[in-house]
Structure 1
């Protein structure tokens, strides 16, 4: 069988570091997507040898990738420990992936009959194993961490055209399959098996380029003129003792909104936490909003605020018509260790900074969806808040009845890190997956308007006040990726269990043969 040979310590170390580094280069802000496929090929070449050593190689590769990717964790938490802990927790999944590959290759490598068929099936299962591990990483623990999912780095590649059929799972599967085919071509080349080199290399290239010819066209059913507002945030170190940062942020958004009143937008969108003080109960925050609504003559709005309930709070997006709140969506997936603190008493002893998360965010239970009437018809928006855009289940559930995707976010805590552009890549991916226009509204950037084909039509700079009024097409398209989201997720877990059972079955059969 054409599986990799064992590598020495130095080669394994270089391959591990190289794979992680190349995966990072594929992601924003560098956006060199092809390097990600090469990185996976390097990782696959490590799938031989001892199980523990391969696990260590996988962890090292994963840690390299996630540590570089999660630069924003240090900025937000003000401690390097958070970045290291987050990267290490996610790198364990890459270690487990390499263990699965290694064990699987060891089992099938003992088969002598039908080698070509066995090799083809094995490479397909290798790609599936990546999808399975990514889905596990996106689900466990604490609801998972899908940030860094491979598909989000491929938004500029031809493979993005597969998003509307199978979301991140299908795009990731095809990318990894092409990567292991490239790696297999390299292995065959070292063994002078030129026919296998040609066939696998051509198949890999065809797999990457073929989605180029998949049409992504859908006819809009309407259009709405949207005002996207980015008010920016003040420098906390320059605030006076009696100044309220929350009120200044809200006033900033009000001031910037005044600049687009003459454009007469049908809908105004303010980002997550544009009013951290609840406009439904706080008189000062409400006064600022009332002045805006008076100036815009009651133009409908979507805006982010917080609702405080003693020691807990919810992160909300409100739909406002005729100066009245007509809809509320509360964030379903608060970020652990960022918006709430699991194991609070234990964590606070280790990381004193964690005490700053004094009010835990609790999750809502309704779909990420809001409806608002405008002069140009009803806008039915899927509204995943901030990190929720990374969760396929939340986005697809909110998009079932939507004609627009809106991603309100607050990136002020992440500085000039890669986080805003990484999130924009996710918004672009979701636009193609849903085949809907998408709007990302941020307090401090990056705010953007994205077409249903994933093309950025407008993008703001970081930490600047910005506002843009733009005509946005509305689409009623319901893609297969949205319709099949729950079935696909369940099917992957079931197929993963079946694959593990098959591995044990083959192992048992091989032992019986040896006896």
Structure 2
């Protein structure tokens, strides 16, 4: 034991009741770091409160602290789910994600217990980076399980309007989350170890802050432009909206014709922008063919399609000759929204709610990219924007621009559309690609590769965005290294924790 790095006291810095209150406050602050408030510095304030609240706890206490944080955070973050269906889905999602968060944060408590015992000199640098790795593992856990996961609240995504976003173009969103947590954990240790008396303790946090602040965007190569019209029809596309036959398609068509007679390379409609399956309904097919011939440009549209006894959420490129062989099916249908896993079990619990979900969408397997005159257009349908592998596959298969189609009608008047838009903005930065994010009811935007906005349509407004959208080629380091960074985190952080646990037991 040395005077430079003293062994911390086994006593937790806060009583359990105080730690629970502090964790709940941290959850609220963390939620406000995301849109609509988007006060990104609150990420660090929340972490500075939560990490000490986890220190020195027994397993039961750590789970209680993690649960307080998770419940408050998700209660605020996903409150949009109560917009039409009432409190049951909101409470259910909050409780499930809050409980999973509590379990996933438990290793951080163990890290604060075991690493200083096993390696007393680890506190200044190794411990904070292990904590950051374990946080990243917690995000990956929530993002993949259960039922495909819910990667909606990764800390890196809070930087859509923050200064650290360019880091994602080098390390991916998970790498950005890792460095943000590392900075907070390093600063916590500086305070705990009275770093103002030992200036060398400031070297690691200062270097981490400089990396976060000064990293430039990873360069990609300009490769021309494409004149794209993104159309927001503002039709009746909500689950409980009253609809007229072909009403949604009529609203989209009217908004499309508002762009005038100028040249267009690609028309883009949002998710659910067509009422009926054009591969089954001849009237829909004729209207689509008439429209694309009127503008002399193919239409990228979306609707529910049937193939045999299976239903897909499908985006397709409709050509002037009526051909629509290029299509992409949504990879991750939303559980309890687009299908019901273990339907019999959940129907017994909430028959009225489960009974509303009549369709059972099948996950797609075709590539998330179509080609327009040789230009690769990458796709992600609605919540697929939050899944790394969908975005990565589109770019590695040659996408020079990304198009995200969504239907936010069931969340009118909530923060959901702004949260999803922030994810789209981060994808632009991460991949070095322009993004066309088009919604049925808003907010729709065209976004540059640096994350800045080219043009925007507010929510509940019918209209179209017509812009020369920059095309880019080449892969960013974030796209190439992102999955490897995640793999390293999944192996190294738990591995370091296990070794520390075994070694600390040997040291008594």
CA displacement, residues 360-389 of structure 1 (integer Å, 9 cap, x when unaligned) = 00011122111112xxxx321110111111
CA 450–74 in structure 1, closer or farther in 2 if over 3 Å, else same: same
Structure 2 residue 448 is the aligned partner of structure 1 residue 438: no
How big is the shift at 1:487? 3.2
Q: Where in structure 2 are the equivalents of 1:106-505 lying within 5 Å?
A: 106-111=113-118, 115-189=120-194, 194-196=196-198, 203-204=204-205, 206-216=207-217, 217-234=219-236, 239=242, 243-244=244-245, 247-296=246-295, 298-309=296-307, 312-322=310-320, 323-351=322-350, 352-373=352-373, 378-400=374-396, 401-505=398-502
Partner of 1:454, secondary structure, is coil
How big is the shift at 1:497? 4.5
| TM, length-normalised to structure 2 | 0.92
CA 320–2 in structure 1, closer or farther in 2 if over 3 Å, else same: farther
Partner of 1:440, secondary structure, is strand
CA 336–416 in structure 1, closer or farther in 2 if over 3 Å, else same: same
CA 413–157 in structure 1, closer or farther in 2 if over 3 Å, else same: same
CA separation in 2, counterparts of 1:368 and 1:336? 20
CA separation in 1, counterparts of 2:257 and 2:206? 51
Single out whichever of 475-484 and 32-41 deviates more from structure 2.
475-484
CA separation in 2, counterparts of 1:22 and 1:201? 26
CA separation in 2, counterparts of 1:166 and 1:91? 27
CA separation in 2, counterparts of 1:487 and 1:213? 23
CA 359–310 in structure 1, closer or farther in 2 if over 3 Å, else same: farther
CA separation in 1, counterparts of 2:317 and 2:75? 38
Partner of 2:499, secondary structure, is helix
Partner of 1:493, secondary structure, is helix
Partner of 1:272, secondary structure, is coil
Structure 2 residue 23 is the aligned partner of structure 1 residue 27: no
2:124 touches 2:190 (CA, 8 Å); kept in 1? no
CA separation in 1, counterparts of 2:121 and 2:294? 71
CA separation in 1, counterparts of 2:107 and 2:114? 11
How big is the shift at 1:494? 2.7
CA separation in 2, counterparts of 1:11 and 1:332? 43
Unaligned runs of 5+ in 2: 1-6
CA separation in 2, counterparts of 1:507 and 1:181? 22
2:378 touches 2:395 (CA, 8 Å); kept in 1? yes
CA separation in 2, counterparts of 1:2 and 1:206? 25
Q: Which residue of the partner structure matches residue 63 of structure 1?
A: 71
CA separation in 2, counterparts of 1:238 and 1:491? 47
CA separation in 2, counterparts of 1:66 and 1:425? 17
CA separation in 1, counterparts of 2:226 and 2:241? 39
Number of equivalent positions: 495
CA separation in 1, counterparts of 2:112 and 2:466? 55
How big is the shift at 1:311? 5.9
Structure 2 residue 90 is the aligned partner of structure 1 residue 94: no
CA separation in 1, counterparts of 2:250 and 2:201? 59
CA 180–452 in structure 1, closer or farther in 2 if over 3 Å, else same: same
CA displacement, residues 214-252 of structure 1 (integer Å, 9 cap, x when unaligned) = 332444110111101000123877847xx33xx211111
CA 235–433 in structure 1, closer or farther in 2 if over 3 Å, else same: closer
How big is the shift at 1:118? 4.3
CA separation in 2, counterparts of 1:230 and 1:176? 38
CA displacement, residues 225-284 of structure 1 (integer Å, 9 cap, x when unaligned) = 1101000123877847xx33xx21111111111111422211111111111411122123
Q: Which residue of the partner structure matches residue 13 of structure 1?
A: 20
Single out whichever of 477-486 and 211-220 deviates more from structure 2.
211-220
Single out whichever of 318-327 and 363-372 deviates more from structure 2.
318-327
2:378 touches 2:391 (CA, 8 Å); kept in 1? yes
Higher RCO, 1 vs 2 (CA within 8 Å, ≥6 residues apart): 2
Match of 1:52 among 51, 60, 64: 60
Aligned Cα RMSD in Å? 2.2
1:258 touches 1:292 (CA, 8 Å); kept in 2? no
CA 363–507 in structure 1, closer or farther in 2 if over 3 Å, else same: same
1:311 touches 1:358 (CA, 8 Å); kept in 2? no
CA separation in 2, counterparts of 1:5 and 1:202? 27
Q: Which residue of the partner structure matches residue 4 of structure 2?
A: none
How big is the shift at 1:187? 2.7
